[in-house]
Structure 1
Amino acid sequence: MATTPIIDCHAHIWTADMPLVANPRHRLDYDFTVEQYLAILDEHGVSLAVIAAASPYGDYNDYTIDCLRRSPRLRGTVILDPSVDRSTMEWMNDAGVVGVRLPFINRDDLPDLNSFEYRRFLRRCRDLNWHIHLHVEGAKLPALLPPLEASGVKLVIDHMGRPDPELGIASEGFQAMLAAIQRGRTWVKLSGGYRLGPQSSDYARALVREASAERLVWASDCPFAGHEGQITYRETIDWLIDCVPDAATRATIFGATPLGLYFSQ
């Protein structure tokens, strides 16, 4: 019987000499190359992976795209200006890009997703069967989800929706995310628990309880930017095993769901 693969749905790669945006969220003075990352995957028995666009480098997607072309084990998301032309997106699609990351975390100046520019952009993502990869605080989800869902694009939410730490799973944002999952075009990453405090396991268990495993994926968030040395790759796998004790459910989250979401194109 074939074994369901383990797929890491969110990791970052870069070299220290890549151009940074103004006021980056992290200033990374070391390399974390695709070769280093693939070695970690091999060490832990992880078959496939998705490279998440790293916000410090804005729309400098060149390194990610080069690595996707060289490794059929990988897919990736990119950061793009919404004015990007269709031919550029098609070229990226051919390289293994499967979505666009919206790094809206720690931003007060969120764009108008109902504008023509964004509606056109989201339609182009939908036409390519890409997903929108959303990273934002949970408190902002109730405002962002309606225009994203109205576009018809697939939506993947980072780090369990980053719930309000005081309100947790009762927060408006977390409940809005659960409702979006039920509507059928939203997926959530069980990831970033080490960033979210001791309640992170409660968030994961609530998602497993309230949402179908067919709408959940696991991710390491390797190499843990801003938290280097505080967590290991193995610990991110063990965290998911602890949160999801049922082996069949775990196999769906680790493998079957991300295989269909990211590797079916």
Structure 2
Amino acid sequence: MDRTKRAITRRGFAAGAVFWAASAGSGQKAFAAMTPQDNTIDTHAHVFHRGLKLAPGRRYAPDYDAPLDLYLKQLDDNGMTNGVLVQPSFLGTDNSYLAESLKTAGGRLRGIAVIDAAISPEQIGVLDRASVVGIRLNLVGQPLPDLAAPEWKGLLANIKAAHWQIEIQRNAADLAVLVPKLLDHGLRIVLDHYALPDPKLGVADPAFAEILKLGASRNVWIKISAPYRNGGNGEAFAREAYPLLRNAYGLDRLLWGSDWPHTQFEASQTYAKNRHFLDELVTDPDERAKILASPKALFRF
């Protein structure tokens, strides 16, 4: 990352922090009608700081801190009761800060780890007791895994035994091939960011039609999160995609995530902006409440 981009990133994140502080009052008013028993769950966020060891071969690394206390403030200011921390790809398989953050949050958060395929059942157990409920495969720019390899067969069996989920970030065309193979192992699958169809085609991408078919399995969930990761017309795409996803998956298989702190999009995104977009996307308050509450079972809250 060059100096200009670093400066933009720092300024963008700082500007977002000012916006969050200014919008706290309006956020509290907007969600004042919610009753204490309502679960409102943000299923996708990251925490990190610059003192953490970075993974070799990473695609990028932020030059700012996104600490736990600031994330918890976003939850409070935006009427969210719970959150899910996803291990950032640039931290690799060292999930220690993730586990530390989950412990500090005292049961309010759950975690999705990044692991090595050779992880032992005992190590999975340690993470499970730390409130980790699944693994993430961020396959952007990576080769697809050979699920027939012995280490992958063993891993998938251990994931199933732990009742964990597998969260995947990959383009829709590859997901349409990979996900059915994972479903054959009896696993629960979560697809990131609308399943990332070709941004030039949007809902017309033939692979997106295949993603819609996966809803019939009832073992696939999809995140209606980070529309900006679906190209320059991401919000327009999201508005077209939402009714199709709702009909194919049902409200109880749609997950909302803030994608905080919006890595590589810090200059244009804030938590409040993404939370408000959900209100615009899902205009029916009952539908919205179901989407925000339904992750409770999947993430073991």
The TM-score with structure 1 as length reference comes to 0.94
Work out the CA distance in 1 between the residues paired with 2:140 and 2:282: 27
- In the TM superposition, what whole-angstrom CA distance separates every residue of 1:39-95 from its partner, at most 9, and x where no partner exists? 111111111000011001110111001111221100000000111000010010001
Work out the CA distance in 2 between the residues paired with 1:116 and 1:201: 42
SS at match of 2:134: strand
Contact 2:218/2:249 (8 A) holds in 1: no
**Unpaired runs of at least 5, structure 2:** 1-34
Q: State how 1:61-76 maps to structure 2 within 5 Å.
A: 61-71=95-105, 72-76=107-111
**Residues 2/34 of structure 1: CA separation in 2 closer, same or farther (3 Å cut):** closer
SS at match of 2:272: helix
Work out the CA distance in 1 between the residues paired with 2:256 and 2:70: 20
The aligned counterpart of 2:260 is 222
Q: Which amino acid aligns with 2:260?
A: C
Q: State how 1:124-203 maps to structure 2 within 5 Å.
A: 124-196=158-230, 197-198=232-233, 199-203=237-241
Structure 1 residue 209, shift from structure 2 partner: 3.4
Structure 1 residue 211, shift from structure 2 partner: 2.3
Q: Which amino acid aligns with 1:170?
A: A
Q: State how 1:11-50 maps to structure 2 within 5 Å.
A: 11-50=45-84
Work out the CA distance in 2 between the residues paired with 1:227 and 1:23: 21
Structure whose alpha-carbon radius of gyration is higher: 2
Give the count of matched residue pairs.
262
Structure 1 residue 222, shift from structure 2 partner: 0.2
Please, what is the CA RMSD of the aligned residues? 1.4
The aligned counterpart of 2:296 is 259
**Unpaired runs of at least 5, structure 1:** none
Identity over aligned pairs, percent:
31
Work out the CA distance in 2 between the residues paired with 1:207 and 1:241: 16
Structure 1 residue 172, shift from structure 2 partner: 3.0
- In the TM superposition, what whole-angstrom CA distance separates every residue of 1:202-255 from its partner, at most 9, and x where no partner exists? 223321233200110100000000011211211111111111112211111011
Contact 1:159/1:189 (8 A) holds in 2: yes
